[in-house]
Amino acid sequence: MPGMFVVNDRMPLRQAIDEILFLDEYSEQDEWEQLVVYLPL
């Protein structure tokens, strides 16, 4: 299973985008395999 990011529906859209971009920039794709990550971190 590829990784999945679950965003709290009360989180501001800009914050969700920033956190996803941060994770994309500072991690490798294979780090997220078979994980479900809830945002905000």
| Inside any domain, residue 17 | yes
| Inside any domain, residue 40 | no
Enter the pTM of the model.
0.73
> CB pairs under 8 A, 24+ apart, for 15-18?
15/40
Q: What is the pLDDT of residue 36?
A: 94
Domain count, the chain: 1
Q: What is the pLDDT of residue 40?
A: 86
* Residue 22 tokens, joined: 């941060």
Q: What is the pLDDT of residue 10?
A: 94
Q: Which residue range(s) make up the domain with 15? A: 1-28
Instruction: Tell me the torsion sign for CA atoms 18, 24, 27, 33.
Output: positive
Q: What is the pLDDT of residue 41?
A: 75
| Inside any domain, residue 1 | yes
| Inside any domain, residue 36 | no
pLDDT tens for residues 1-41? Answer: 788 999 999 999 999 999 999 998 999 988 989 999 998 87
Written as one string, the DSSP assignment of 9-22 is TTS-HHHHHHHHHH
Q: What is the pLDDT of residue 1?
A: 78
